Every structure is written in structure tokens, then in C-alpha cells.
Chains A and B, each alone.
Chain A
């Protein structure tokens, strides 16, 4: 992960981070914080504690998302709130789409279509308020007569990082369980890097070709990083760590508390293997899913 971030993510990089409150590659966020990245343009459908940490650590200049919150409680994403309410640690620029509109914009990007119809959103706040993406929505007349149709332009992120379950050396990447918008999002990215729980032999990939979310020819690089999505869940690998979400929510109520979290869990652990070690064998065993259906 260290090398992937050093090589592919300079300051100011535009990047889409995969995951939708599950399969959020938190290990990537931690490495971006360790390497003190600045001015990033982060796109993420569901921000979660991953985006919250990046915002708190001052890595983010622009954010495109449809939702940013802690997954338990529900308690707030405190750093996200501080940034937007009080400009702490600094102001960020935010642009918002609904999940449906985000999915369709990625679909347009993935298919290289000029636009995609989406959910009617005229009258909604994210239709009215436009920030750094003034053309995020348009309205056309249905050529077949039904009336006004909201459309979204193609979204083609310069770089995408996605958590997947397993990959082979060619980059054939597989996921089991629900996949949200991931397949469309991966295909929309101009450069795609996958973060796999495990590297497997191509023969194992062939056993379940239907689970391949990105064929190898779409993938630029592979990072193998077990537990990369903790504290969110990786279907068939580990469960959502509710206690860690709660701990994060509690510690990050203040800026000082957030700094303690980062010192203890991000900087202090050195790398993701160190983070997993700090979680401890007992917690890891509790969260591990033992039954696989493939």
C-alpha cells in the first residue's frame, strides 16, 4: 500500500475510492494520512469513517459524495461536520449527488455515453446547489414524449482504488455478495487499482467467473492487503466492527480526540499489518467469517 500511494497518489490527485459502507478500503485512507497527502479531490459514494478521517487529517480539498456518516448509532461523522460547520481543520469544497444519480453518472462514464437519465431531482437541494460541478445535473425533454427528464453527465475519475475480495496476478478481481455500484464505478475510472484481501491462483478465479467485477485488462495494479476494509465488512471474510465504529465516533468528538486516534491507530501502527496487530488476535477471531459459500 505504501508503494501504491507513493507511486500513484501525489498531492492534488483526483481519486474515486470504492466501497459503500462495506468494502471501504480504510487501509488506503490510513496510508494517505501517513504519507500526509494534501489537496485531494476525493469521490466516494458513501463517505463513512474513511472520508471522515481523510477530512479530519486535512488531506481533502474537494469531496464528491452522497452521504458521510458513522455507520453505528447513528452518530455523526464528527470531522466532516467540523469541516463544514466550522472550517476545521480547514474548509472543504463539497458537491453532492444522490446514490442513484451517482450510480448513473458512473454508468455513463463506464459506457462512455454522453449522459444517463436518472431519478427526478428538480426541486431537491442537490439539484439547486452547485459547487465545483456546475453541470452535475441537466434536464432534457423525453424525445418519446413523457416530459422532463433529469440527466447526469459521465463521471470518469482519473484514478480509482477499490477493495475486492480476491484477485490473481493478472488483476482479475472478484467480489461476492452485494456489489452496490462497484462494477460501474470501476469501469468508469481511467486508471484502476484493486486492493485484494488475498491473491489467488487464476484457476480459482475460473471456478467463479461470474464473481469477477473487473477483468484483468481493466486493472493497472494490485495491492494485497488483508483486513483492508476494516472496520467495515468484507462479505464472506469479516463482519462490520461495530465496537470500532463506536470507538472512532467517541474519540473523534473533539479535534484533540481525533488527533489521538490518528496517533494511536494510524501513525503509531506504521502500516496496515501493524493496525491489524493492534486490533488483536481476539477481535480478529471474533470478526472473522468462518463459513464461505464459494
Chain B
């Protein structure tokens, strides 16, 4: 069976995990991507989690979240949130930061707090956790959004949980955010988006089965397209490993998208 767009997304995201370098991995699909990468091309990737765990090898059991302490099995370091968020992430020691962004806008601002008015939300979501820090001080930030629904890509989010470029890159810089922070890439089932000089998201690459016009229809604003690259189709080996890890995640109570 050919790879689904969702499976394509996991493999595309996994390519941002590089062997030997340090990655800050947030909750949910980024954790699956990191595991896939470790089994494919990045066995020596170093993963750090917000609670202070450094995971430098494949754990025998998939951790359902950074605080599922099977992540600490055989860890080289178990430290604190101050280490993780400030000494590793804020200091720039982390090279790539992966954050799930289920609702994300034109400037890469992420909402994981509330849809509708904050005081009386239509849908209340979890809130920040460490997600704000990933957006505000993380280097090499990769956003992951598993949805292709327009509601997941509003022009402006109702609540900024993890700051992207706010209303533009200049505003972000003026408010004390460090250079080199802020989202670099968004990976979704359609392909990859990047951010221009002003911090606006544009389509940069598409998965093989996706047509440009269809992709544009997923965004709640007239999204621009750069020179759109075609992403490589997953190899049989990549697909096999993604499916094994999704099976594993399911056994660990992950809810998988409907086929």
C-alpha cells in the first residue's frame, strides 16, 4: 500500500532530525518522528525533553509523552526544567526544535490554548506547557501540523500560545526575541512550508500526490507558493519503519488518524 499523506508527513519531519546533533522534542507526533529518524538515519541523535531528560539512544518502549518516564530508561542525564528550557534550549545548544502546531496562522503563531474568545472558549485546549518556550527561544524551529483542514490554518489564531512572527518578523525582533529563533519550517501532510523575510508562511515543497491548487485550499489566507519542490516518495524501508512505530504508538494508547 502506498504511503498516506500522514505517513509522508512523519517521514518528511523525521528528515529534520540529524545524526549526532541536539534536538528539543515536544509532545505528540514530533516524538514519533524522532523515533523514526533514530531507526533510519539518526541513531545517534540527542533528544532533550522539557523535564530535563537527555535521551541519546532508542528506548525499548515508546514514551507517550516527554514525561512518560520510560523516556528516562538508561538516560545519560536526568536534570530539571531550568536545564532543559534555559541551559539547553534558550542558550542555543539545541540545534533543532520540534513543536506540534495543531492550529497555526500566516505568521507561524501557534494556538494550543483556546478557540473562540478566551473568557468563554468554544473549544478549550490544553495550554502552553513548554510550548511557549519552544516558539519563543527555540533555535531551528520545525512546526508540525497533522491536519489539512482550513480551520487548522486561520489567517490569525484566536490565542497565541507559542509565538511565531506575531504580526511580522520586525515586530518579533522589536519585542526582545533573539535572532535565529522563530519558526523556520512547517511540516504537514501536504508538504513543507517555509517563512519569508517578513515571517510569512509560504508553500515550499509538496508530497508527490499533492496538487498545488488543492494544497492552497487548506490555508485560511491566500498562501503564496515559492518554487515548489517535489518531496521524494518514501522508500519501502522508510515506510516499513513508520508503520512499525505507528503500531507501537497505538499500543501505547496513541490515537491515530483514520485511514
Interface residues of A (CB under 8 A from B): 20-22, 46, 65-69, 71-75, 77, 80-81, 84-85, 96-101, 103, 107, 119-126, 129, 139, 146-150, 176-184, 232-233, 235, 239-240, 242-243, 245-246
Contacts and interface: CB of A to CB of B under 8 A. Distances in A.
B171 A242 contact: no
A119 B133 contact: yes
16 contacts: A22-B51, A22-B67, A71-B64, A81-B124, A98-B130, A119-B137, A120-B175, A124-B136, A124-B162, A125-B114, A126-B161, A178-B51, A233-B68, A239-B70, A245-B253, A246-B253
A77 B120 CA distance: 17
Interface string B105-118: 00000010110001
B127 interface: yes
Contacts of A107: 82
Given A72-B253, A123-B172, 18 more contacts: A21-B65, A68-B126, A74-B28, A80-B124, A81-B123, A85-B121, A98-B133, A99-B81, A100-B132, A120-B177, A124-B160, A124-B161, A139-B176, A148-B176, A176-B78, A178-B80, A232-B67, A242-B64
Contact of A242 (B80, B82, B124, B253): B253
A183 B80 contact: yes
A100 B129 CA distance: 8
B69 interface: yes
Interface of B: 27-28, 49-53, 64-65, 67-70, 72, 78-82, 85-86, 90, 111, 113-114, 118, 120-124, 126-133, 136-137, 159-163, 166, 171-172, 175-178, 252-255
A66 B50 CA distance: 13
Contacts of A71: 64-65, 67-68
A68 B127 CA distance: 7
Given A178-B69, A239-B70, A123 B163 contact: yes
A241 B89 CA distance: 30
A135 B229 CA distance: 48
B80 A101 contact: no
Given A98-B132, A124-B132, A178-B80, A67 B127 contact: yes
Given A22-B69, A74-B255, A179-B52, A66 B127 contact: yes
A41 to B, nearest CB: 18
A123 B171 contact: yes
Contacts of B166: 123
A121 B50 contact: no
A120 B65 contact: no
B53 to A, nearest CB: 5
Nearest to A181: B81
Contact of A121 (B123, B163, B252, B255): B163
A125 B159 contact: yes
Given A148-B176, A178-B80, A180-B81, A74 B51 contact: no
Contact of B80 (A123, A146, A181, A232): A181
A203 B18 CA distance: 46
Nearest to A176: B78
A119 B84 CA distance: 13
A150 B78 CA distance: 28
Contact of B132 (A126, A242, A243): A126
A120 B82 CA distance: 15
B28 A98 contact: no
B93 to A, nearest CB: 15
A240 B69 contact: yes
A149 B128 contact: no
B128 A67 contact: yes
Given A85-B124, A123-B166, A180 B51 contact: yes
Contacts of A46: 67, 129
A105 B199 CA distance: 30
Contact of A99 (B90, B120, B128): B128
B27 A74 contact: yes
Contacts of B90: 100, 119
A179 B162 CA distance: 24
B124 to A, nearest CB: 4
Contact of A122 (B27, B131, B175): B175
Contacts of A20: 51, 67, 81
Nearest to B77: A178
A179 B160 CA distance: 28
A22 B120 CA distance: 30
Interface centre among B50, B90, B111 (most CB of A within 10 A): B50
Contact of B64 (A72, A96, A146): A72
Given A74-B255, A181-B81, A85 B123 contact: yes
Contacts of A239: 69-70
Contact of A77 (B64, B126, B132): B126
Given A125-B159, A178-B79, A99 B132 contact: yes
B161 A125 contact: yes
B253 A73 contact: yes
A66 B131 CA distance: 10
Contacts of A129: 118, 159
Nearest to A22: B67
